[in-house]
Chains A and B, each alone.
Chain A
């Protein structure tokens, strides 16, 4: 049963600290997405990759957020420095191609105090 995995599942950190979230997409999927979900804003697309190359990151605050795919089995989302307003659930999703369905991971719940 192929699934997207995310680590850590929960993260509590203090303002100003660096946070790194990791995602393992489903083997064979060539698109990877990072989303942020809050009660107020719902699901927001932060960035997405196709064949490990960034296609769009216009939804991401560039001064503190960065997303990379070091290889086909790992995607990372980094926040440095973190702020309380970054508190949210961060989802990674992967898909067989753009324009097709996405399969979401269980999310990382981030709390910045």
Chain B
């Protein structure tokens, strides 16, 4: 069964304290892995797409990496404005090219 699991569920960091969020997946065939950020009361906002193991993408303080079983979202020297829920999604290479989202990691960065 295709599955996406994110950990931890919640993370509290001091401003400037770097850390990583994890997204592990079990799918029959990966077409793409996506990271989104969601602020309260808003729709998810696209951050990155990764397609193959070894691929990395960066944007400001965020860096996403991909292996054959998991992806990490590294946050370097976070700021309070980085507080949000971070969602991971996979698109499965099957007949319907289905999308599955993880339940997210709620990040709080304390000044």
Contact = CB atoms under 8 A, between A and B. Distances in A.
A45 B100 contact: yes
A60 B42 CA distance: 22
B43 A42 contact: no
Q: Is the contact region of chain A dominated by helix, strand, or loop, or is it mixed?
A: strand
Q: Is the contact region of chain B dominated by helix, strand, or loop, or is it mixed?
A: strand
Q: How large is the interface on B (under 10, 10 to 19, 20 to 34, 35 or more residues)?
A: 20 to 34
Interface stretch (A63-71, A76-84, A91-99): A91-99
30 contacts: A33-B99, A42-B101, A42-B102, A42-B103, A43-B87, A43-B89, A43-B101, A45-B98, A45-B99, A45-B100, A55-B96, A55-B97, A56-B96, A56-B97, A58-B96, A58-B98, A91-B44, A93-B44, A99-B91, A99-B97, A100-B49, A101-B46, A101-B49, A102-B46, A103-B46, A104-B36, A104-B43, A106-B43, A107-B42, A107-B43
Interface of B: 31-32, 34, 36, 42-46, 49, 87, 89, 91, 96-104
Interface of A: 4, 33, 35, 42-45, 48, 55-56, 58, 91, 93, 98-107
